[in-house]
Chain A
Amino acid sequence: MMEILEGSHAVAEAVKRCRPQVIAAYPITPQTHIVEALASMVADCELDADYICVESEFSALSACLGASAAGSRVYSATTSQGLALMFEVCFNVAGMRQPIVMTIANRAMGAPLNIWNDQQDSISLRDAGWMQFYAEDNQEASDLHYIAYKVAEDHDVLLPAMVCFDGFILTHTYEPVDIPTQEEIDAFLPPYNPVNILDAKNPMSLGMYATPDYYMEFRYEIEEAMKRSRKIFAEVGAEFGETFGRDYSGMVEGYRLDDADTAFVAMGSICGTVKDAIDEMREDGKKVGLLKIRSFRPFPSEEVKASLAGVSKVAVLDKNISLGQKGAVALEVKDALYGTGTEVLDYIIALGGRDVRKRDVRAVADLAEKGIGDRFYGLRTEVL
């Protein structure tokens, strides 16, 4: 049913329909509205979950790990410093192969303290073994939760997933969102069917230590599961499309790319602005397009290479920076395009919530046309 919902509430409604049995979360702006909404649903008996009011994000994810290991479907949400506080547990959850789904309301990392949006937080956890999906709008943000659970819990995957959407820009924005019925989601997403759980009737040890004789093989298994998740994501995304009319089979999505000379590459809510700017530039006769990255982990290198095959210049809009190098998305795109001769220019943009307008996208296109890239876009040099 189509409803006008705040982004956070659209996500909470989706999470509710995924029927998590245990929720553990700690409030942090701009994630708070999600967990408040879920707490209300539990309080009103609309959602049959145990809601653990933990004392920190560290404990939130630790409690999720325990609940998952004991056989329950679990959920958490966080952002920025909260995600940083979970750092150690994030690696542990992936290593212990618990298919936990967590929403990230993307927010800048301090210092300086900043509550507004960029994607530095989740990008900084890119190597933890979690799948990372990025949403352009609130419809996609809510839909990706159904898909994330189904992919994460697939016995060929068994990896945790982050569903990332931009703080404030999406979390606090009201948009029309189609929320499927509980019956429809029940038909799409079966109950959690764990492989190995803590059970006194069948004792086993979980989370043991491994010497050099075994550790590397555990890491290899995680990497192989990541590779298998590509196919599972495509299948689940296609199935979702057949059922609900919104196709998520692609880990990337092209917009007016077919005859483009210059292509933007971006993740998250900025893609909407870029699409509008592209429409304007197209009217001016400029052959520009967009490649939206929906899955950052696993990174769809083959799809990126195929999608950008006919393009001469690529302008990556990175809402993050790997300090001492470039933006993280640009590095991935460069790797994907290695050997093709396509020029990849990187623009660090909109850090800490700075607004991006259509004219900024057009300005980036102009810079890219001149071959000027690999820089912060929109720096206020007068305050440096």
Chain B
Amino acid sequence: MEQESELFECGHRACGGCGPALAARLILKGTGPNTIVVASTGCMEVFSTPYPETAWGVPWIHSLFENAAAVASGIESSLKKQGRDEHVVCICGDGATFDIGVLCISGAFERGHDITYICYDNEAYMNTGIQRSGATPYDANTTTTPAGKCSTGNPRPKKDLPAILAAHGASYVATASMAYPNDLIRKVQRAVNTPGSNYIQVHAPCCTGWGFDGSQTIKVGRLAVETGLWVNYEMADGEVEHVRKVANRKPVEEYLEAQKRFRHLFRPQRNEEEIAKIQAIADHNAMAFGVDRK
């Protein structure tokens, strides 16, 4: 079979089974070649652009960790003045998005720049060695929220960034998972063709940071959706439109047990209380978004 040409080329230095690398490849299938990508400092920048090599088949720029949305604002403004029509798409990790970059993202969305901001969410600072971010889920073991005698891991739930950006008046907000490729590609296509500021948060499992075998990335990504711990949905003008329904939602243990970052909830003994709290998060998600297919 003839190899389809890729805008995110093979030969980058990501780990085998890297969720974000797969996400990047799918995202560019959605944007097409008439696109300028703005990146943040992070895993993807490092594994895809060691000078003088690059994996990017579209124009790509990285400035700093926290300013992709502001750089994208300037690019969009510049293109507008020149009468050019490329899509401006940020592809940034969760640390750059949820934490250090929030000011720039808030400013860009409030001004309504015609950009699509895509967060590849691997739920921690993976490039620097698995430290907690605002996207890290409750009870995850990270190097800055280690499980210990007096700790069950990350003490706070994941920040609801899609809701925050919807509240900014974003035209289109969606969550997606690299484990559902066609859904992700379709959402990216919709976002880049929707005028205004748009946001997509892509669940992108990190085999190294989460502790699972690189062959299991898609399976782990699907388990997050099948348990209700990750919900794939779309919002237009602040209203939830489409939610991926789940028939016979699986217990959260199936997702948690597949990853070393939650191992402390099962060894040396099961922590029923904490597992129940995480099940409650999934149940709340299912209720809030109507996930269960009745």
Which residues of A come within 8 Å of B, CB atoms? 21-22, 24, 48-50, 52-56, 58-59, 62-72, 74, 88-89, 92, 96, 198-200, 202-211, 214
Contact = CB atoms under 8 A, between A and B. Distances in A.
Contact of A56 (B57, B61, B103): B103
A209 B45 contact: yes
A66 B73 contact: yes
B54 A208 contact: yes
Interface string B136-169: 0000000000000000000000000000000000
A142 to B, nearest CB: 24
A88 B66 CA distance: 10
A66 B56 contact: no
B14 interface: no
Given A56-B107, A203-B57, A214 B75 contact: no
B111 interface: yes
B112 to A, nearest CB: 11
Nearest to B52: A214
Contact of B59 (A21, A59, A203): A203
A54 B69 CA distance: 11
A200 B58 contact: yes
A66 B38 CA distance: 9
Contact of A52 (B50, B66, B111): B111
Given A66-B78, A205-B49, A211-B50, 14 more contacts: A22-B77, A22-B81, A59-B108, A62-B67, A62-B70, A65-B74, A67-B75, A70-B79, A72-B82, A89-B67, A200-B35, A203-B33, A204-B54, A214-B52
Interface in B65-91: 66-67, 70-82, 84, 86
B74 A88 contact: no
Contact of A70 (B62, B64, B66, B74): B74
B73 A59 contact: yes
A206 B74 CA distance: 15
B74 A66 contact: yes
Contacts of B62: 206-209
A81 to B, nearest CB: 15
B265 interface: no
Contact of A62 (B35, B71, B82, B111): B71
A50 B81 contact: yes
Contacts of A24: 73-74, 77
B36 interface: yes
A205 B63 CA distance: 11
Nearest to B85: A200
Contacts of A68: 74, 78
B61 A55 contact: no
Contacts of A205: 49, 54, 56, 59-61
Interface string B8-43: 000000000000000000000000011110100000
B236 interface: no
A164 to B, nearest CB: 23
A75 to B, nearest CB: 12
B46 interface: yes
